[in-house]
Structure 1
Amino acid sequence: MQIDWDVEIPMDDGLVVRADIFRPQAEGRYPVLMSYGPYAKGLPFQVGFPAQWQTLTAKHPEILHGSSGKYANWETADPERWVPLGYICIRVDSRGAGRSPGVIDPFSAREAQDFHDCIEWAARQPWSNGKIGLAGVSYYAASQWIVAGKRPPHLAAICPFEGFTDFYRDACRHGGMLCTFLTEWYPRQVTSVQHGLGSRGHVNPNNDVPVSGPDELSDEALMANRVDIDAMQVGAELITAEYFDGRRANLPAIEVPVLSCGNWGGQGLHLRGNIEGYLRAGSKQKWLEMHGLEHWTAFYTDYGVALQRRFFDHFLKGEDNGWDREPPIRLQVRHVDGFVERAEYEWPLARTAWTRMYLDADSLALQVEPLPTASLHAFDGLKGKVSFSTLPFAHDTEVTGPLAATLYLSTTARDADLFVTVRAFAPDGKEHLVLGAVEPNAPIAQGWLRASHRQLDPQASKPYQPVHTHDALQLLEPGQVYEVQVEIWPTCFVFPQGYRLVLTVGGSDFQHDLPGPYPQLYGKNVRGSSVLLHDHPVDRSESRFGGVTSLHCGGKFASHILVPVIPAD
């Protein structure tokens, strides 16, 4: 293949961003697969993320069939696999990152405009057929949703692979609570490859140039060239904050064909966005695929590549390969011992048996009928929890779809954070944990709500998916009972006969009970919620949340969870 390093693409404000272009050596016009993001286009996967690369290639050696792997980068298409298929792969370093100068401002309106201009630039090149597709994982997926809403004229199709759509609800503030993932991620994965590190950064072994550019900027200059997202996010509790302007995808404005690929294990980062993107995109042609395994795996496997190839071949090359006749939804249904693929035609599934399970604070059970008498259970508002269990299931029971909890609570404090977790327990009493996207031992499903954010959007909300406005604080009066609706992110799991569903409601992030030592990520123990934690001392202060939370059940306080049970065929 022909490799063009550091091709300059002019932006509308006079700055240039730089791209590496991998294209067939044969003359001709080819469709383009583009990615745009801050992880440094010249940083090979095995150099930047060696542990993940080793795991990926050991578990799935197929990804190196026909590829040396040396041009494979974190969460972007491997050109050695795609260029022989008749595609051009373009990787663009976003403004301020890698080889592109400027100020880093992740997911901003400025980035979206840059991405738009890169798409249009690529369409005008002599080697391009004018059809641009977008491919990539995580950042390289979330940015697709945003730029597609700007409708670049030559954007022909997008395949966002595990990427959020609502920066506020999906990534930054779950139920109004600040998730500290992004503030931990920023220095480790973005500013660590910031433009201007020069010789202090990595070197691209494929062309021996510094991945963060030749410039040697001072620490002060580097700091001036990046947004302080910790300060911005801590100070932006409501969705109306200026910080969120332009960072949330305008899904109804999207017109191009969409293949949205999500991960059941993406609780707290990408799962919700892939489903919402599929549902709300204005595109007439759109598909949803849901899989499991690690966050970065399926994109590179033969399964993932073949899926993307059929989609892009149809819309970027015009091939009549039957893709337009594919069922709109493809689910990898999770069982305790693996996944079984199944086609579906709507979401939520039309045959769902919506099942209410009522919380009993006296017996700590989930009951099938409302309770006539009232009961309550109190726990520490910052670190306590209480769990409620069903009886063992009499037969295999599939739970697939969104969940919701209606809870009645009071507190001695002025506010309360609620962490709601759906869990599976085997007949021997041991919890069945699943492999999540970035968590080796994850629960079945998770939801979050800050009680002062309980105001619902009545037009957007559904019985199975409450949507909160997050535009005003409604602090609590100590001792008064409030009804709150908690969105629990979608899930897919078949509970075997004899297993129990357990609902845990608490005041802090879920942690499993497995013995240590625990793996670490970003310097934190990974214990069930990975690093998708809500542990910022300013956002969760003792003065605001340090009280006793009481969960009220039974009688006029019919606390319950709504579960999407799928009837057996």
Structure 2
Amino acid sequence: MSANATQALFPVRVVEHVRIPMPDGIELDATLHMPDAEGPFPAVFEYLPYRKDDLGAGGARYHHYLAERGYVSIRLDVRGTGSSDGTAIDEYSVQEQLDGVEAIAWMAAQPWCTGKVGMFGTSYGGFNSLQVAMHRPPALKAICPMYFTDNRYTDDCHYKGGTMQMLYDMATYGLSMVVQNSLPPYYEAVGERWAQVWEDHLKAEPWLLPWESNHVWNAYWQQGSLCENYGAITAATFLIGGWRDGYMNCNLRTFEHLECPKKLLIGPWLHARPDSGVPGPRIDHIHEMVRWYDYWLKGIDNGVVEEPPVCIYVQQYDPPQADRPLTSGFWRYEAGWPLERSSEQPLYLAGKEQLQEAPPAATGSASYEYNPTVGTSFGLFSAASPHILPMDQRVEDAYSLNWTSDPLDEGLEILGYPEAVIHVSATTDVAFVVVRLTDIAPDGQAALVTKGVLNLTHRDSHAHPEPLEPGKVYEVNFLLDATSWVFEPGHRIRVSINGADYPNSWPSPKLYTGSVHFGGERASQLVLPVVGPQPERYPEPSFLPPPVIPSPVSGYGERPIWRVTRDYMENKTEVYLHRSGFTRVSDRLSITSMAEATTSVFEKKPAYATIRGVNQVVLHWPERTIDTRARGQIESDEQNFHVTIQLEITMDGVPFHQRRWLKSIPRQLL
């Protein structure tokens, strides 16, 4: 990393609604941010379904930054979205990837391009940067995916450890795409074809339906998952991730398995770009991207490939707080991954709730009654706003089994994936287990370090789950989420086990008693990835502060609401999530948006859980006001999920378009 940003900046001109032709006659809509100078220049692009001209307009500032530094920076609407032609059939489709390959060839052939192309993106754009690169388009020389996955089943916003995500899709992303995929293009982009292009957009089916229908690792999820072939990527790859992001597991794993030139940066962030990331510290990550591109696209020998290839933020304890603005810790280089100086340190579960380094001689067991409402202080799976960090874990500990170490005499640092080895039984055929690793401060506050979730029917395979035999003791091994953490002297380490991660995961359907067995041949333990000091410490990484880039839009967002309500008469818990805002894109365009959802589950009837959501976008055009909203609901019983989705569009207050979808989906050991 380098804090040197001295270079001449180019003036920038913007060319809107450039049409990029596809072989089947479809045209994708692009906006070009170009150095206003004699070229040619390398091209870099971001490829999203989030409507670059309105809902995603604020992202233009990053492209301005790149154009100032000598790149034609391109924003490209995915087929069927924004002002691109076609119908959006699903996220990360093969067609979308092939369109990306064609767009790269088009860019490389333009007179303003040197023939070298880079790609980048956050979240969706990180996913498809990897997916397009797997096709090896000849002109694609470097990519920078941020907050991405290499496995669309185990590490995405739809499933986690074989459990189905409950809150995220209906509250944020999934339902929002029903709305976004139904919005119109812009007249300036498509001219006389405006009506037909909008009609094609309106043919889109809810992406939610196949997500909710594919409960296991299968061909649906394998398509577009880099883990199927890490060797497919040859473009130089700079990975950026966050320890509190929903995709924290993919960074180290992807770096380890890639065979191309590679670099990795992991900060403390939730799902927010590092220049505005929470919790901080914040950095100018775009400068780091430019250095990567300068080397691989311009041939500038700037030292970026001589630096240690891995840079991480080592996290330290802070009092738990849902909206904590900063994480204590420090930056450090590493020579690679895995680390040669890493070692495994087991901590054994023992009697009297003791967590100890030596295997206990005495055998024993401890039991918990499954409570499907546990998890509301674990934090929200982070793949979009709102950004909610884990809170004090003591509320959840009251409904969990807990094992706690003695106060540490000296500090202990971990880096990587803690592994749970748990001997467990349940009095039912479908049950989940949640293992949490917690840092207990001297004053008793409990900060969540990391956790892992496993549907026990997936104990041997995510592709072929098998029901539990009630009462049988199983040894299950699974990884907790990746982390970097320093336990300070005087702090204690706690391992907690329970059966729910509500509302992140949909509750398992049957009440049961779970038992954890320990000692002797059933030595349940948590294996920590401990790292010692570096033999030769590298210089401390330095970063530029976040750049001041004027935003092309203005507006405001209301403070998000995360409200937990417990009805003790009905034994029912609800979680309510709400966010809304207003954006002015130009004198001719403004946007009002709102999303909210309510989940509910009965403590004594976990099969009957529900989520209801609504997502609304209002486009205020001079000629008309287009109000688009989607309402969705998933209800469960012991055997099925019942999904209803309604789409309503009004034009100037008059009904314009309506669609509805109904689907009952059998639960597959969920």
The match for 1:186 is 173
Distance 1:382 1:96, change over 3 A: farther
- Secondary structure in structure 1 of the residue aligned to 2:349: strand
Matched, 1:334 2:320: no
The whole-number CA distance in structure 1 between the counterparts of 2:97 and 2:251 is 19
Higher relative contact order (CA 8 A, sep 6+): 1
Shift of 1:26: 1.2
Distance 1:194 1:445, change over 3 A: same
Distance 1:375 1:229, change over 3 A: farther
The match for 1:348 is 338
The whole-number CA distance in structure 1 between the counterparts of 2:121 and 2:207 is 23
The match for 1:230 is 208
The whole-number CA distance in structure 2 between the counterparts of 1:541 and 1:451 is 10
Q: 1:385 aligns with which of 376, 379, 400?
A: 400
The match for 1:297 is 273
Matched, 1:415 2:430: yes
The whole-number CA distance in structure 1 between the counterparts of 2:470 and 2:62 is 56
- Secondary structure in structure 1 of the residue aligned to 2:169: helix
Q: Give the conservation status (yes or no) of the 8 Å contact 1:8–1:17.
A: yes
The whole-number CA distance in structure 2 between the counterparts of 1:446 and 1:32 is 40
Distance 1:114 1:77, change over 3 A: farther
The whole-number CA distance in structure 2 between the counterparts of 1:31 and 1:77 is 18
Structure having the higher Rg:
2
Shift of 1:346: 2.6
The whole-number CA distance in structure 2 between the counterparts of 1:548 and 1:223 is 48
The match for 2:640 is none
Distance 1:215 1:547, change over 3 A: farther
Q: 2:40 aligns with which of 29, 38, 54?
A: 29
Matched, 1:472 2:464: yes
The match for 2:80 is 96
Q: 1:257 aligns with which of 236, 245, 256?
A: 236
1:116-137 per-position Cα deviation (integer Å, ceiling 9, x unaligned): 2211211111111111111221
The whole-number CA distance in structure 2 between the counterparts of 1:85 and 1:215 is 39
Matched, 1:176 2:165: no
Q: Which structure's residues are more often helix, by fraction?
A: 1
Shift of 1:217: 8.5
Matched, 1:482 2:474: yes
Q: Which structure's residues are more often strand, by fraction?
A: 2
The match for 2:607 is none
The whole-number CA distance in structure 1 between the counterparts of 2:482 and 2:174 is 30
The whole-number CA distance in structure 2 between the counterparts of 1:395 and 1:37 is 47
The whole-number CA distance in structure 2 between the counterparts of 1:275 and 1:183 is 29
Aligned pairs, number? 476
The whole-number CA distance in structure 2 between the counterparts of 1:290 and 1:354 is 22
Shift of 1:290: 1.0
Q: 2:92 aligns with which of 107, 113, 124?
A: 107
Q: 1:131 aligns with which of 112, 116, 125?
A: 116
The match for 2:495 is 503
Matched, 1:546 2:532: no
Question: Given the two structures, how large is their TM-score scaled by the length of structure 1?
Answer: 0.79
Question: Given the two structures, how large is their TM-score scaled by the length of structure 2?
Answer: 0.67
1:124-166 per-position Cα deviation (integer Å, ceiling 9, x unaligned): 1111111111122111111111111111111110111121121
Matched, 1:141 2:126: yes
Distance 1:109 1:555, change over 3 A: same
Q: 1:534 aligns with which of 505, 517, 521?
A: 505
- Quote the RMSD (CA, aligned, Å): 2.4
Structure 2 gap ranges (5+): 1-11, 277-281, 318-326, 373-398, 535-670
- Secondary structure in structure 2 of the residue aligned to 1:169: coil
The match for 2:106 is 121
Identical aligned residues as a percent: 28
Distance 1:423 1:541, change over 3 A: closer
The match for 2:421 is 406
Matched, 1:563 2:519: no
Q: 1:356-371, aligned counterparts within 5 Å? A: 356-360=346-350, 362-371=351-360
